Structure 1
């Protein structure tokens, strides 16, 4: 009964006055010392506090009296739980995507480094068949590398060439 009174933010004195009883009766009811609780006090407290008498007696865990409101709350609770499950799935997918991005970034960096070594050892590679296409692909990889590195660490990656 104490929790119900606190929900409506009134004092024991105010509750006693509104329920036409004594402050001591309210204190005893809240402490569980009124056993059995007078029916008039129970009914009045349930109406004043806007809760069910079953909740005041500890028979049910839900304080709501109106079945329609309780049904709406259950529906909203179900929606909330579905939203949480969906959000957890999205977070898991995001983690997978971040892992793939990290692996792709490492592979791109390895390709760029290997190409830098290859270019130093073979300065005329551009003149060979497919050399220009390879150079264009490496430049694209460097652009992607810089972008992914900035997004992942906030720092641009230096080219190794």
Structure 2
């Protein structure tokens, strides 16, 4: 389940980087905002960039609960902010870009909450030390006979002749 969740996070990182690129490449804010001020587009790119950085940290440090909590909170805040800009303030356009951002943020929150609350997240955390070293619990009884071969053995006789 961890691999699937990390794969989902990498997909969402690519999407967030695309949104940040759209905000900076199109300085007229045509992809997100109704107004064409470049400052609006750059202001919207900042929380998306922070969320992208947090997701990259989450991919590499996946067992850290505090990073998960920060990611969930920032995803919720970003989704609420985008929805308020679209529906309440009506400053952002209702389009594919904004709908995709909100949908992926909300789905990300659901996936992360399911993973944190799952038993695999909690059980793997207690086994984080890895395998413990093995202890010798039995000794082979024929070990002494293997170290000293019989005198009438062919190899022993051949060795004595060669010597």
TM-score by length of 2: 0.29
The higher-RCO structure (CA 8 Å, 6+ apart) is 2
TM-score by length of 1: 0.29
